[in-house]
Amino acid sequence: MNLPGNGTRTRPRTAAALALLLLLALTACGSGGSGAVAAGTGAAQVSSAPADDPVAGVRPVESVAALLPAEVRKAGTLRVGSSVGAPPAAYYPNGQDKPPAGQDIDIADAVAKVLGVKLQRQDASFETILPALGSGKYDFGTGNFGVTTERLKTIDFVTYVNDGQGFAVKTGNTTLTTQVSDLTQLCGLTIGTGAGTTFEKTLTAQKGICAAAGKKPYEVKVFSETGAVTTALQQGRIDVVMSTINGLRHQAAQPAAQTTFLGEYHRLDVGFAFKKGSPLTPALQAAVNELIKDGIYARILKKWGTTASAIDTSQINPAEHA
């Protein structure tokens, strides 16, 4: 979900261009280096991160840190592949390249503090992180990765929120006006979504349901950038977006985005991702549960407006929700 390019963008001169810039500042964020949107003053104000810093007071917990492998404790670092896609999970505030902010960033940083280690964060595109875990490039990955039966075959997860799949349309578009509870409601429409996501897989796997119902099939357009999906929606190149519940809800709350959230379709546990058999999972699970117990977890979710996604306890490799 990276936004390529390294140059400074020309300041928009028309109202339409300014509106698009504001929209991109809300939804498009780099995931591979220097790709953030160069935003003007108005966009920067819209996309600033909340001021609360619940992570600042987190201290190491020896009993939890002791669960780490000895070599990790000695090194004092963990390498994390981080997909920086859009608020509230992970994004670049104010159109800047560094540092990233968001729910996933805060939770990962707080976990590292409990464990008494430093994170070596490497931004990466969403679809590259899970394959790279097996090669040892990262110790774990973050990117709002949903726990699915298919992923559990090759990936271990430590859960930290419950998010899932939802839909949104451009405000004022009456093509689809009700909550999507059945994908046949999408027949004949063009749906935009992110590459390598559970959304793409769900839509692709179920594409035959429209023909089976005697209806025109829906079309799926896949984008590697979150901002590109939303731009396509605004320009009428797609009818509806399928993405994360929290992301779509957050976006719809921003007036400049001009999108309407159509509600939840399917809930999924979301977790830190590890190569199969990683010895790190017990320590990170215990760290998340420590944050839940001491109230830091609740403060982080409140900061990012995601309290409805709170979990009572972190799990390792829970079964996918039916």
CATH class of the domain defined by 54-163+269-309? alpha beta
Query: Per residue in 50-82, is it b (16+ CB within 10 Å) or e — as a string?
Result: eeeebbeebeebeebbebbeeebeeeeebebbb
* Coil vs helix vs strand at 127: helix
Q: What is the pLDDT of residue 186?
A: 97
CB 122 within 8 A of CB 84: no
pLDDT at 97: 67
Q: Quick one: pLDDT at residue 47?
A: 58
Determine contact, residues 180/202, Cβ cutoff 8 Å: no
For the chain, 322 residues long, the average pLDDT of each consecutive 10-residue run is 32 36 35 27 48 94 98 98 92 81 97 98 92 96 95 97 96 93 96 93 95 97 88 95 95 91 95 98 98 98 97 97 76
pTM above 0.85, yes or no: no
Taking CA atoms, 265 is separated from 73, 164, 245, 305, in Å, by 41, 8, 8, 19
Q: How far apart are CA 221 and CA 40, in angstroms?
A: 30
Same fold: 54-163+269-309 with 164-267: yes
CATH of domain 164-267: 3.40.190.10
Indicate the domain borders of the chain. 54-163+269-309, 164-267
Q: What is the pLDDT of residue 256?
A: 86
Tell me the CB-side half-sphere exposure of residue 95, using CA atoms within 13 A: 20
